[in-house]
Amino acid sequence: MAIDLAAAFFAGLNFFGAPKSLGRSFSQTFPPLAYCVKSVLSRRGFVLPFGIYPLKQGRRSGFIAPNFTADTTEGTIDFHQWIGDSWALLFSHPADFTPVCTTELGRTARLQDEFAKRNVKVLALSVDPLEKHLGWVNDINETQHVTVGFPIIADEDKSIAQAYGMIHPKASETFTVRSLFIIGPDKKIKLMITYPASTGRNFAEVLRVIESLQLTANYSVATPADWKDGEDVIVVPSVRTEDAIE
């Protein structure tokens, strides 16, 4: 049984006059320390009262993306096998038939050729059931004047959303926020972007960061602010000047 050791600690401080908000203040004032305390104690079965929670490795850039098997609008897939030697764009939607989500999937459908040029496979996710997804695809095709040619995951039990941290309890206990993950052929997460449910994604920026990620994966360079494909890049400091000139 988990023991709320930290809560008891803060309760003791409150007995001696410390404010009840100390736990929250502690996490906000010393987030790295709060993170470490949470990480160490949570592995030992303790429950902590403050709101700094360690991310699972699979949710962070540079770590292997959690694999899963899922039912989609194009059949059952094994995520890692589905990616193959391609790059992948995995992005979540709060709910089917919502206006913002519909425009996002319509925009993605119009950019299918652009993603294909960059060897990127697209995979959407919603926690609604498959039958509802299929109706939504028809609605997107009709209202956005496109043909959706990529799968949409039916994550009814929210297992994938939970594994990727797509549900933010302070935003909603049940619906996903607009999370977006770029995953490389090595199955590692290269980029994460999170938008609130009220704000649609900028897909020009998504394409731009994919181009940057693919370029910097093959060459020892970095891309400056507002960089676009074809513009000058920065040689990373670890590369000698002589080698850069060559």
Residues marked active site are found at 101
Ramachandran category for residue 119: left, alpha or beta (phi over 0 → left; psi -120 to 50 → alpha)? left
Smallest CA-to-CA distance from 202 within 166, 185, 183, 178 is with 178
Report yes or no: 125 and 172 within 8 Å, Cβ to Cβ: no
CB 61 within 8 A of CB 138: no
Within 8 A by CB and 6+ apart from 28, the residues are none
Helix axes 203-218, 99-110, angle to 10 degrees: 50
b/e map of 98-135 (b: 16 or more CB within 10 Å)? eebbbebbbbbbebbeebeeeebbbbbbbbbeeebbee
